[in-house]
Structure 1
Amino acid sequence: MLGTPVISSRPRWSVSRIKFTDWRTPVDNPEPRAQYLNVVLRQIERTSLRIPRFQRHFVWTERDVLELLGSIQKGYPIGSVLTWKVDVSDDYFAGYREIPFPAAEDSVTSFEVILDGAQRLSSLFGCLRNSAADPIYEVYYDVHSKDFSHKSSLRSIEPWHIPMDSLFDSRRFLEVQSRISDLDDSDELLPRALELYSTFQDYQIPIIALSNAVLEDVVEVFRRVNSSGTPLSSVDFVRALTWRSSFDLEETFEEFAERYQATPLEGLTEDFLIRCLAITSGLSIDSRDIVQLKKLSNRAQGLASEVVAMRSALDKMAVFLDRFNITSMREVPYEIQRLLLFGIMHFDVNVSAEKIESWFWRSTFAEEHQSKPESYVTRSMREMQKGNVAPVLEVRKPIEFDLFASRPRRVGSAVTTGFDLLLRKSHPRSLLSGKPVSSFEGMHGILFSRSMLEREDGHATNTGLLANLVLLNAEDAAEWRRLQEFSTVADLFNVCQDSTGEAEAIWLSQGLRKPSDESPMDLLRQRSEELLNRVMP
């Protein structure tokens, strides 16, 4: 429904939360002000309010735009806008985003750049002042239904459809009123049109401006503030750092994304790449340290050598991860694991691939890197830079060998991801036909039903335990479910043996020995130990 606030009405941040205690000149107290929407639109037209190029492109959907307009029409708050007062002499920006905003006027020497709120202000300026910029901004208000719609969704434009870009154009709005007054129900519709006009004319937007702030201060503000909506990240600010050199960070990231498609590094995030760039530049991954990339980017060669080193380490990392049959970065459970692997490749530490692989499995199943701070990565990088990799590969948390018999499948968890990789590494075969089965296309079947998994204490356990799940192709999955209604696991093993003659090898591909007299839970524990022993002997 329209009218739901797009942005939370709680304050974005409070002045008291922002304190700077280092050697830099303190930032002036932020200047909050409430400005009428028409004043904000005029500022944008005069280009005294701009979107810097390091800001993300317009990413809102048609629904987002309509909900924003609906929020204003109902008088809901849409959240504050955070800006940064700068002068041309500050030389921070090499360009500004246009469409729907106008091109920056060179004659305007003092202006504000939008740090938080670019999506909202782009939507408002596009819909109310520059709808020709993109069809997403061509919005009409139906005074009959009191709904907003995009032009593309309307069969025809009727007299009761008010183009939103007429609300701040007096002549056009008079024409709208004239058309509505010719309708039979004009007595009812004209007041609605005037109410819409008044609501948008009288609407105020809270704007908070940072003054006397350098880029490091602005990064620190965003590090400390949790902003709703679509907030900026350190990636956006590092883009700003590099616009002044010949090095274009955005193009570099696009090149990496293309380079590593269909490799284990597919899906690299910009945040990860920023941290990798910091590592090759000899910096920590803390956002307060990353801004030091600015100094390096201003060198004659910019960050060219750091990018070359980064590419080399990523290439090695892709080759290494291929041994796990990993298809994308999402399958490396922890961001810390990814960064440590990058560091190992970058610093070229003296350690065998087998030891790194063992560390990967152990740290995954021990959930070693859960909730570890960024400072841990920084310390680890320092150790590797000195050639000391032993502390990095140390796994302190214990791993129980019945792990898979006690953990239910939970998509996205480290143990579940590791279990899937382990099965994939084992080249599983479907348990009835023996045909190879992919973990991507295979279907999960269960070994034991809930009643069969009754515990010693009399309570049934979860049938979704990892060790209770097997991979089957589509044909086998249907037959497996049918046979399970009247067959034991031993019976299913025998069906496989009768049809293939190699049931032991087929079932062992998924860590299952030939069933005997053991209880269901004992068999699951045995399977868990069998699988873990393959990578952690």
Structure 2
Amino acid sequence: MTKYTVEMINLSHLFHLLDSKTLIVPSFQRKFSWEQNHVLDLMESIKNGYPIGMITVLQGAPEYFEETTEDSSLLPNYQSRDGLSYDKLWIVDGLQRISTLYNTLHIKNNEFPVAYDFSLNKFVYSNEENTNQIRLSSLFSSKEFIRFQRESLQRDEAEILIEKANDLHDAFRNYQFPIQKFHNMNTDDVLNVFQSLNSRGVALNSEDLKNAMNYKTNKKINKD
């Protein structure tokens, strides 16, 4: 019996999974470690329609995983689920990419001030107001994107600038990538899958994961 399924999702769907607290960061995941060049490279890949790799999740609520705390994640607070009944999807591989996408595109996080500079034709880190730049979070905010278009109309090269902005908007809003969902897996299955995955960041080894999977049990023993 196949233990996984693969489906294509767009970025808006990814953000919905995060905001609905369906997509969960387990406690064994390491903190965000990407440098600025990694973030810009990811944005360039999306703009050009290149693959950014598969996101891998474990579906269900395994007793040996614990959710991360708000302080250790760049994603929404997972500790208060507000009674939502969605199945949990535990992030096994792809956290660096997910964190980058959420904080760069979905929310206006000043620690991820990534913009596209139309005069330079490249992505940049910039906190300055610049008429040649559009903040990437504006691509997923109708209000902000319309404001950029309206302000662009006041410029001599308005038609060209708006066309470029629309192309960038479409590239990100239409972009799709694969998410691999594992299900009906026991402890050995999880360990084997985890060891076989390759990611852009520094991979955890099997001992890291074993320790994390025993985290709940160990914490209870120490308290007792």
Task: Name the TM-score, length of structure 2 as normaliser.
Answer: 0.89
Q: CA deviation at 1:41?
A: 1.1
Query: Equivalences for 1:348-359 in 2 at 5 Å?
Result: none
Question: What residue number does 1:221 align with?
Answer: 193
Residue 137 (structure 2) pairs with residue 178 (structure 1):
no
SS at structure 2 position matched to 1:83: strand
Flag the structure with more relative contact order, 1 or 2, with Cα contacts below 8 A and sequence separation at least 6: 2
Structure 2 distance, partners of 1:83, 1:128, is 21
**CA offsets 1:67-90 (integer angstroms, 9 cap, x no match):** 101110111101111110013xx3
Pair 1:237–1:162, CA change in 2 (3 A): same
Equivalent residues of 2:3, 2:185 under 8 A apart: no
Residue 159 (structure 2) pairs with residue 159 (structure 1): no
Correspondence for 1:130 among 107, 127, 152: 107
Structure with the bigger percentage of strand: 2
The amino acid across from 1:161 in the alignment is Q
Question: What is the percent sequence identity of the aligned residues?
Answer: 28
The 1:97/1:209 distance shift into structure 2, 3 A limit, reads farther
CA distance in 2, matches of 1:216, 1:186: 58
Mapped to 1, the partners of 2:115 and 2:63 lie a distance apart of 40
CA–CA distance in 2 between the matches of 1:141 and 1:173?
13
Question: Which amino acid in the other structure matches residue 117 of structure 2?
Answer: D
Q: Quote how far apart the aligned CAs of 1:160 are.
A: 2.3
Q: State yes or no: 1:108 paired with 2:84.
A: yes
Matched, 1:242 2:214: yes
User: Structure 1, residues 162-187: CA drift from partner, whole Å, max 9, x if none?
Assistant: 11111111111100111112111111
Amino acid at match of 1:34: M
Residue 294 (structure 1) aligns with: none
Instruction: Describe the superposition over 1:386-441 as per-residue Cα deviations: whole angstroms up to 9, x where unpaired.
Output: xxxxxxxxxxxxxxxxxxxxxxxxxxxxxxxxxxxxxxxxxxxxxxxxxxxxxxxx
Q: 36, 42, 46: which one pairs with 2:16? A: 42
Return the match for 1:206 from 175, 178, 181: 178
Paired AA for residue 240 in structure 1: A
**Structure 1 residue 148 corresponds to structure 2 residue 120:** no
Amino acid at match of 1:162: I
The number of aligned residues is: 217
- Structure with the greater alpha carbon radius of gyration: 1
Q: Counterpart amino acid of 2:54?
A: S
Residue 97 of structure 1 deviates from its aligned partner by 5.0
Q: Using the alignment, how far apart are the partners of 1:246 and 1:219 within structure 2? A: 19
When you count helix as a share of all residues, which structure comes out higher? 1
Distance (Å, rounded) in 1 between the aligned partners of 2:144 and 2:131: 13
Whole-angstrom CA distance in 2 between matches of 1:240 and 1:108: 25
How far 1:216 moved relative to its partner? 2.2
Determine which of 21, 29, 32 is the counterpart of 1:55. 29
2:106 partner letter:
R
**Does 1:139 pair with 2:114?**
yes
TM (norm. structure 1) is: 0.39
> What secondary structure is seen at the aligned counterpart in 2 of 1:227?
coil
Deviations 1:500-536 (A, max 9, x none): xxxxxxxxxxxxxxxxxxxxxxxxxxxxxxxxxxxxx
**Residues 463-502 of structure 1 correspond to what in structure 2 (within 5 A)?**
none
Deviation at 1:239, TM superposition (A): 3.5
Q: Which runs of 4+ in 1 moved over 6 A?
A: none
Q: Which amino acid aligns with 1:147?
A: K
Q: Helix, strand or coil: the match of 1:122? A: helix
> 5+ unaligned residues in a row in structure 1: which ranges?
1-25, 248-297, 303-537
Task: Note the alpha carbon deviations across 1:201-253, whole angstroms, 9 max, x for none.
Answer: 00001011100112321111233x25142233214312422320344xxxxxx
In 2: Cα distance, 1:241 partner to 1:37 partner:
30
**Quick one: which amino acid aligns to residue 131 of structure 1?**
K
The one-letter code sitting in structure 1 at the alignment partner of 2:11 is: L
- Provide the aligned C-alpha RMSD in A: 2.0
Work out the CA distance in 2 between the residues paired with 1:190 and 1:209: 38
Corresponding residue for residue 32 of structure 1: 6
Please, which of 80, 95, 98 is the counterpart of residue 54 of structure 2? 80
